[in-house]
Amino acid sequence: MDRHRYRMLLEDLCDHAGLARREQFLSDGLLRIHGADVHLRHDEDFDAGHLQARIDFGPAPEQRRQDIWRGLLATNFEWGQGGYLVFSLIPDDEHVVLSIRHALTDDLNGSELAAWLGFAVREGQSHWSRIVQAPGMPSPLPLHWETSV
């Protein structure tokens, strides 16, 4: 998918989700969904056929990091087919990120992208909560869209 078509898809997502800070989102690709920061990326030169959503869960709790790293690696192994879902660590700030790829087909629209993003965040939160075993993690809720501030 070329840059123009990708921008049209993001504009359709804005319309569908009713994003208040449309121009900011179209510029930086940052959203907040269910309290999670989500960054949408598309690099036409690297992989024109996919977009990548990176869901940032923040830093892992200090007291159980070794168990958490083991859980993240085990989850990556379980999901490992094709690299479409991968937990990783941002080296600079040690935030845990779930990277997910989605095929950019010509018929993909903003409504479908919104549904996929909602599913991805809910699934990511569910697995992150299971790995961390923290009772305070947010449970899956109806989608609430906003751009990052």
What tokens does 110 get? Answer: 């903003």
Other C-beta atoms lying within 10 Å of the C-beta of residue 98: 26
Q: Where are the alpha helices (DSSP H) in 29-146?
A: 44-47, 65-79, 110-132
**What would the pLDDT profile of 89-138 be if each residue is shown by its tens digit?**
999 998 999 999 899 998 999 999 999 999 999 988 888 888 887 443 33
Which residue do the tokens 């990783």 mark?
Answer: 88
Pair 134, 55: CB distance under 8 Å: no
| pLDDT higher than threshold 60 for residue 83 | yes
Q: CA distances (Å), 54 to each of 18, 62, 64, in order?
A: 21, 22, 23
What tokens does 76 get? Answer: 């990556």
Pair 57, 97: CB distance under 8 Å: yes
Position 30 scores a pLDDT of 93
Write the burial class of residue 96 (CB in 10 Å: 0-12 exposed, 13-18 middle, 19+ buried).
Answer: buried
What tokens does 114 get? Answer: 């919104």
Pair 129, 137: CB distance under 8 Å: yes
Mean pLDDT of the chain: 83
